[in-house]
Amino acid sequence: METTFAELVNDTIVFAFRNGTKETFLNNVHVNFALSYNDIPIWGPGAKARVYIGEGGEVVGFIGRFWEVRSAGEVPILRPEEAVQKLKELGYGRSVPREMVSRVIVKSIELVYYAPPPDVEPTQLVPFYVVKGVLVGKDGRIFDFAQAVPAIRS
C-alpha cells in the first residue's frame, strides 16, 4: 500500500451570536493522505489516513489504518462501459430516485479498490468503479452524483 500527501486542511468553527456578530475559531489542522495499491486509488470508508496537528506542530491524533496488502489473486473485471451499464441497473444513489431521472451524463469513471470501514474484519480491497456525473431530473433540476459500482465480473 502506498500513501501520498493529499491536502492540508484548516477546520474552522463559526460562532454566530445573538447580537449579529460572528467569530471564527480554528478547530484543528489536519493532513489527509491518499492511499493506493499498485497505483490504483483506495476508496471508501476504510480509505482514510488523517494526522491531526496541534499547536507547535505536535501530532495530537490519527484516524486511519495502515495494513499490509497481499494479493488474493486476480479476478476478471468489467470494462468501464459495462460498469456504466451496471450503474443503470443499480441506480444513481440516494439523491434522485431512478424513475425521476430523465438523462444521465457520465463525466468520469475511475477504477479503485473499495476499502470497507476499519472495524470490518477481515479487510479486503475489492475492485470497484467510481462513476461521477450529472443527473437531469424530469423536472429539469440538475444533480451531481458519484456512485460506486462493483467491478468484478460475475
Cβ proximity of 112 and 125 under 8 Å: no
Total residues belonging to the chain? 154
- The answer to whether position 71 is within a domain reads no
Percent of the chain with pLDDT over 90: 41
Q: Do residues 112 and 138 share a domain?
A: yes
Rounded CA-CA distance 60/17 in Å is 30
In this structure, what C-alpha cell is assigned to residue 56? 507547535
Question: Residue 44: which domain range?
Answer: 2-64
| Of 43, 52, 56, residue with least CA distance to 125 | 43
More confident residue, 140 or 97: 140
Burial class (CB in 10 A: 0-12, 13-18, 19+), 151: buried
Q: Is residue 70 part of a domain?
A: no
Mean pLDDT of 105-121: 88
Q: What is the pLDDT of residues 8-27, one digit of tens each?
A: 888 888 888 889 898 888 87
Asked whether residue 145 falls in the same domain as residue 90, the answer is: yes
Of 55, 50, 42, 45, the closest CA to residue 9 belongs to 50
Over 90: is that where the pLDDT of 121 sits?
A: no
Over the stretch 34-86, which tens digit does the pLDDT of each residue have?
A: 999 989 999 988 888 899 998 788 898 998 877 778 888 889 999 999 999 99
Query: Has residue 133 got a pLDDT over 90?
Result: yes
pLDDT-based confidence at residue 122 (cuts at 50, 70, 90): low
Does 59 fall in a domain?
yes
Higher pLDDT, 16 or 110: 110
Tell whether 49 and 94 lie within a shared domain. Answer: no
CA distance 90 to 67: 31
Among 64, 91, 118, the domain-final residue is 64
- Whether 72 is in a domain gets the answer no
From CA 132, how far away is CA 145, in angstroms rounded? 6
Residue 91: pLDDT band (50, 70, 90) is confident
| 44 shares its domain with 94 | no
For residue 139, give the DSSP letter.
T
> What pTM value is reported for the model?
0.75
By C-alpha distance, which of 113, 9, 7 is closest to 67? 113
Instruction: Return the exposure string of 90-115: e unless at least 16 CB atoms fall within 10 Å of the residue's CB, then b.
Output: eebbeebeeeebeebeeeebebbbbb
Same domain membership, residue 51 and residue 88: no
Both 53 and 86 in a single domain? no
Are 124 and 84 members of one domain? yes
Is the residue at 75 inside a domain?
no
Same domain, 49 and 97: no
Q: Is the pLDDT of residue 143 over 80?
A: yes
User: In this structure, is residue 74 part of a structural domain?
Assistant: no
Q: Does residue 103 share a domain with residue 54?
A: no
Contact 133, 108 (CB under 8 A): yes
Number of domains within the chain:
2
